[in-house]
Amino acid sequence: MEIQALKSQCTVIRRDIVSMLTMAGSGHPGGSLSAVEILAALYGYKMNVDPTKPDMPERDRFVLSKGHAAPALYAVLANNGFFSKEEYNGLRKLGGMLQGHPDRNKCPGVDASTGSLGHGVSVAVGMALGAKTMGGKQHIYTLLGDGESQEGMVWEALMASAHYKLDNLTVIFDWNGLQIDGPNDEVMSLGDFPAKLRAFGLDLIEVMDGNDIEQVIAALDVPACPGKPRCILCHTTKGKGVSFMENQAGWHGKAPNKEQGAAALKELEG
């Protein structure tokens, strides 16, 4: 997809996120809105996927390790033709395809069931290991939150990714600086995070504005460093695109009510 079209699509995706969360009455807008450009660039530009064949073995894989950003993933999948937007109505509803956190057995295009923080990156490492073992060309992408990287098993997984020289793996961080209880650095300092990633043996690229899709694409297009897993640290804005949600930890896990939803959509008219 062309850059201009992707930029327009990002606005549509943000509108979809706000609409489906307003309908659902619960969910996670902040970290969904911060991840829009990353997900749109992956599915609309970078990854080898086919919405008509969501299970094709040779496809690239994506694991939403920060599974609570499910609305963003659902909106990106629907906008890329994996399923109808009518499914939005069933988000978080009994019998719905769109569970509160992504379910690989219910939703086409979802490669891994996630929601328990720290799991996804480890699943992605296993997928990359599998692709290497079979000599496959699949590239594996995973997206983590910054708060998520407080989980110990994130580091177990990163250690393994370097040990097994998984240059078919790209680990992306949606670095919006906030988690449920407040700023990361107040809740549990992550310290010199880039230095930690480098020390773990990852090939690190920093994206200064992860809500600028051109910067995200440029980072995704950097050729793999042979023998090293790639890490892309994207500095983003939590709640991006909705003024009253931006940089507010309170909008991590609270859905907008009808009035707030309407106000947000008005801002996102583009």
**Residue 104 binding other proteins, by CB under 8 A:** yes
Let me know: does 25 contact 87? Beta carbons within 8 Å: no
> How many Å is the Cα radius of gyration of the chain?
17
The pattern of x and - marking residues 114 through 143 that bind other proteins according to CB under 8 A reads -xx-xx--xxxxxxxxxx-xx-x-x-----
Query: Distance (Å, rounded) from C-alpha 193 to C-alpha 179?
Result: 16
How many CA atoms lie within 13 Å of 179's alpha carbon, on the beta-carbon side?
Answer: 18
Q: Which is nearer to other proteins, 7 or 132 (CB)?
A: 132
Closest distance to other proteins from the beta carbon of 168 (Å):
11
Supply 92's token pair. 């978080």
Residue 58, burial from CB neighbour count under 10 angstroms (0-12, 13-18, 19+) = exposed
Closest distance to other proteins from the beta carbon of 205 (Å):
23
In the chain, the N- to C-terminal Cα span, in Å, equals 19
Contacts (CB under 8 A) with other proteins, residues 59-98: 61, 63
Q: Which is nearer to other proteins, 72 or 127 (CB)?
A: 127
Q: Which is nearer to other proteins, 169 or 245 (CB)?
A: 169
Q: Which is nearer to other proteins, 126 or 183 (CB)?
A: 126
Q: Which is nearer to other proteins, 164 or 193 (CB)?
A: 164
Q: Rounded to whole angstroms, what are the CA distances from 221 to 1, 7, 22, 88, 153? A: 14, 17, 35, 32, 28
The pattern of x and - marking residues 143 through 172 that bind other proteins according to CB under 8 A reads ---------xx--xx-xx--xx--------
Let me know: does 62 contact 111? Beta carbons within 8 Å: yes
Which residues of this protein are in contact with other proteins, per CB under 8 A? 57, 61, 63, 103-105, 111-113, 115-116, 118-119, 122-131, 133-134, 136, 138, 152-153, 156-157, 159-160, 163-164
